[in-house]
Amino acid sequence: MTVLITSVPFTDTAEPIMAPAQLQSLLQSHGYDAVGIDLNAWVYNYIKQHAEKHKLQGFFYNQTICPTIIDELVFIIDHCTNEILKYQPTCVGLSLLSHHSQVFTKWLAASLKTAEPGIKIIIGGAGMHNHIAANRSFFCEDVIKLGIVDDYISGDADKSIIEYFKGNTSYPGINTVAWVQDSDMSLLPMPNYSNYNMDQYDNKCIPLLDSRGCVKNCEFCDIIEYWQKFNFRSAESIFNEILSQIATYNIRHIAFRNSLINGNLKEFKKLIVLIADYNRGLPREQQISWGSYFIVRQASQHPPEMWQLLKENNAKLYLGIESLIERVRHGLGKTFNNDALTYHLQQAQHFDIKLLLLIIVGYPTETLEDYEATKQWFRDNACYASTVYQVGLSLAAVLPNTNLARKAKEYNIVVGALPTVWTNKNLNITPQQRINHQFELEQLCIELNYNSLNTDGASGFHLPQGKDRAAANKLVNDVTVENL
Amino acid sequence: MSMNKATQTELDINLYFSNYNGSMTVEIKNNNQMLTKFANVATGDYNVKCLIDMPANLTFTISGKNYNSDTRVVDQEVVADKFVQLKSMSLGKIPIGVLLLPTICRFTTDKEEDKIKYETYWGFNGVVNINIPYSNFIKYHLSMNNGFDRDGLKHIDKLLHVDYDHLPTGNGHTFTTN
């Protein structure tokens, strides 16, 4: 049996998607003939300069079919089908990183089933569900009913995919949404990118899984519902993987795949010492660099010596600030104060460490006065604009099965048809107002030089811009407050 | 294992035969090659699943309707009818949307008026033609702006499960649906 695992477009990233490489090595370590490929990369590159890029993205995101792109879509589907079939797999695993992979999964699976009716198709990944913490997957039910997909695997597939190929289809997560977080990350073999063409990525990097879950308990977050325990790897294990991947691929930038790299501070400090020791004395082009999500802590936990090491690590940090209003931030579950935030900005500026700030626009407990204070914060802190290479603004969403959703009554929130469409009846700020606030904040950040023109995207995942943003705006507009 | 050069594609159709004085006869061909034939069948659903050559020209030749006796009208209302209905159709496992389905069924009847109709309710003798002018089924679906939408079929199901040959006696208006 040959198993082929591939990413399914569309994820707007110029970086490799890790899951197929991870599953390839996992299956191989259990004696299966396995191949992992990244079809998303091919599609991303194919459409990135395409004259009809936005229409093609409209197909991937919403299945909007414009007559002028039909031949291109046929070509893309055929190409992806042929890329898979050239490995002559008996089983194809389609890995859906986000729900934006759902549209193409259907077309690709139908194409594969027609080209090779006997082929088995399984799907997995968080993108099978519209929301990561969903307790039912209409998508999975639908594709199985259509006969284009045979089975699905929920959650981490570390154990379940092996059990699946052993024939134990009653293992938790196989054809069920519920799964058990029971794997030991230290036992995972390192991803095998041998079937990836590493030259095709604009952001050359090696993805590396260092932890799953989070140590915080933010009320809006669905990650903690999906991974209810925080699992991490030892510094030595991570560092050994870095060295091994450098030796194999000669790529020295590591893209950590996690929710935060400093969840276990002890292991994190060990890791940055190991990397700094490695880098010292080497010319910059031979040094390790990395980018990762990172939580802000009180200053005493991140002393200047740590920032010096981060500089020597060539680190780039993505900070989940969420709200610039301390009261709101504490309330949602992030306990650092404004002094700690300022300290992180100062240290990053001093050591020339680039930051991405992730901000939620219009959190349910934010007032109009808070919004004005948020704008003022950006003005007051414009001196850090060169350190903050990007501000990621996202609309506040009440995601299903999160603590925030469970607290909706307490907050007097009425939730609409989409997670971003809700109203706090105590505050009466409409979804349209929040969209306007987001546009205003974007504009303000640009005026204050926070957003660089560098589009490499902190984590490789670009924020919707231009027509994509307009489409998002329209989507929210279509579901008016009157529908609440 | 072959590459994706297949010009044969799975066709999956569901027909509902409603009998009144017996059933319609339906011959199904693709590109003049016989796929299957239904004659003297009982009321109910019938599924046809087969591989067809593409491009495809599907024809459904419908006969057996006696216009004088096979439709019962009470107070200007049709209360029983002999007909066949195309309830669903998938090509390459992709269902044709319920609103799209009638638009692809070109029904040439043997009637003087209403000779050409586009519908899935076939209550006349004649020939229904479904033309699929592409060798690639994906291109066909995309060209039709069709994508995995099956919604609405349940509604049709509810309306059509009627066995006119076994209606409760006496009152033509009191038949039941399931």
pLDDT digits (tens, 9 = 90+) for B57-72: 999 999 999 999 999 9
**Into how many domains does chain B fold?**
1
* Domain of residue B99, residue span: 9-132
- Measured CA angle at A474 (ends A218, A74), to 5 deg: 100
Cα distances from A77 to residues A73, A105, A106, A108, A111, in angstroms, run 6, 10, 11, 6, 7
What pLDDT shows up at residue B86? 97
Q: How would you label A312-337 residue by residue, b for 16+ Cβ within 10 Å and e otherwise?
A: bbbbbbbbbbbbbbbebbebbbbebe
Give start and end residues of each alpha helix (H) in A356-395.
Answer: 368-380
Q: Is A56 on the interface with B (CB under 8 A)?
A: no
pLDDT at A289: 98
Nearest to B145 among A65, A74, A86 (CB): A65
- B49 to chain A: which residues are within 8 Å by CB? none
A2 touches chain B (CB under 8 A): no
pLDDT of residue B155 exceeding 60: no
- Whether A114 contacts chain B with CB within 8 A: yes
Residue entry with tokens 């460490």:
A353
Amino acid letter for position A282: L
Question: Mean pLDDT of all residues in chain B?
Answer: 83
Q: Is B149 inside any structural domain? A: no
Mutate to test the interface with A, among B90, B145, B148 (most CBs of A within 10 A): B148
Output the CA angle A162-A8-B92, nearest 5 degrees. Answer: 95
- Nearest chain B residue to A147 by CA distance is B93
- Rounded to an integer, what is the distance from CA A26 to the centroid of its chain? 22
φ, ψ at B52 (rounded to 5°): -125, 150
Are residues B10 and A142, on separate chains, in Cβ contact within 8 Å? no
Q: State the nearest Cα–Cα gap between A100 and chain B, in angstroms.
A: 16
Q: Strand A2-7 to strand B44-53: parallel, antiparallel, or no bridges (unpaired)?
A: unpaired
Residue B168: inside a domain: no
Find, among A412, A400, A457, A465, the residue nearest to A439 by Cα. A465
User: How far is A124 from chain B, CA to nearest CA, in Å?
Assistant: 20
Query: Tell me, what's the pLDDT at B6?
Result: 52
Taking CB atoms and an 8 Å limit, are A86 and B2 in contact across chains? no
Say which DSSP state A1 is in: -
Q: Which residues contact A94 (CB under 8 A, 6 or more apart)?
A: A6, A8, A101, A105, A108, A109, A121, A122, A123, A124, A149
Measured between beta carbons, the chain B residues lying within 8 angstroms of A117 are 10
User: Is B147 in contact with A63 (Cβ distance < 8 A)?
Assistant: yes
- The closest of A59, A46, A10, A2 to A27, measured between CA atoms, is A2
Is the CB of A55 inside 8 Å of chain B's CB atoms?
no
* Blockwise average pLDDT, block size 10, chain A, 484 residues: 95 96 98 98 97 95 93 98 98 96 97 96 93 84 95 95 96 94 90 97 96 95 90 96 98 97 97 98 97 96 98 97 97 96 98 96 96 97 94 92 94 90 91 93 92 40 40 40 34
Q: What is the pTM of this model?
A: 0.88
At residue B175 the predicted structure's pLDDT band, cuts being 50, 70 and 90, is: very low
Show the beta-strand stretches assigned E in A21-153: 33-38, 91-95, 120-124, 151-153
- What's the pLDDT at B147? 83
Rounded Cα–Cα distance for residues B159 and B147 (Å)? 24
Among residues B71, B68, B64, the alpha carbon closest in space to that of B20 is found at B71
Which residues of B fall within a CB distance of 8 Å from A70? 139, 142-143
Residue with structure tokens 């095998």? A192
pLDDT at A467: 39
pLDDT, position B152: 38
Answer whether A181's CB lies under 8 Å from A228's CB.
yes
Q: Which of B5, B9, B93, B154 to mutate to probe the A interface, most A CBs <10 Å?
A: B93
Q: Which of A74, A85, A114 sits opposite B9 (nearest CB)?
A: A114
Contact B148 A106 (CB under 8 A): yes
End-to-end CA distance of chain B: 45
- B150 in a structural domain: no
Q: Is residue B67 part of a domain?
A: yes
A327 φ/ψ sector (left φ>0, alpha ψ -120 to 50, else beta): alpha
Per-residue pLDDT at B178: 24
Q: Is residue B161 included in any domain, yes or no?
A: no
Q: What are phi and psi of A181, to 5 degrees?
A: -85, 85
Residue A464 confidence (pLDDT): 40
Compute the nearest-CA separation of B25 from chain A (Å): 29
User: Which stretches of chain B sit within 8 Å of chain A by CB?
Assistant: 1-6, 9-10, 92-95, 136-139, 142-143, 145, 147-148
Residue B139 located in a structural domain: no
From chain A, the residues in CB contact with B138 under 8 A are 73-74, 77-78, 107, 110-111
For chain A, helix (H) and strand (E) counts, in that order, are: 18, 15
Q: Do A88 and B1 touch (CB under 8 A)?
A: yes
- Closest by Cβ to B92, choosing from A65, A114, A116: A114
Element (H, E) at B67: none
pLDDT winner (highest mean) among A414-428, B27-41, B146-160:
B27-41
The whole-angstrom distance between residue B74's C-alpha and the CA centroid of its chain comes to 26
Domain assignment present for B123: yes
- When pLDDT is cut at 50, 70 and 90, the band that residue B160 belongs to is very low
| Coil vs helix vs strand at A206 | strand
Q: Is the pLDDT of residue B168 over 60?
A: no
| A82 → closest Cβ in B4, B145, B148 | B4
CB-based contact B138 A107, cutoff 8 Å: yes
- Which of A 125-184 lie inside 8 A of B, CB atoms? 142, 146-148
Tokens of B150: 């099956």
Please state whether beta strands B44-53 and B56-63 pair in parallel, antiparallel, or not at all (unpaired).
unpaired
Please tell me the distance from the alpha carbon of residue A391 to that of residue A456, in angstroms, as a whole number.
13
- DSSP labels for A252-277? -EEEEESS-S-SSHHHHHHHHHHHHH
Residue B51 lies in a domain: yes
Cβ-defined contact of B93 to A113 (cutoff 8 Å): yes
Q: Residue B20 belongs to a domain with what CATH number?
A: 2.60.60.40
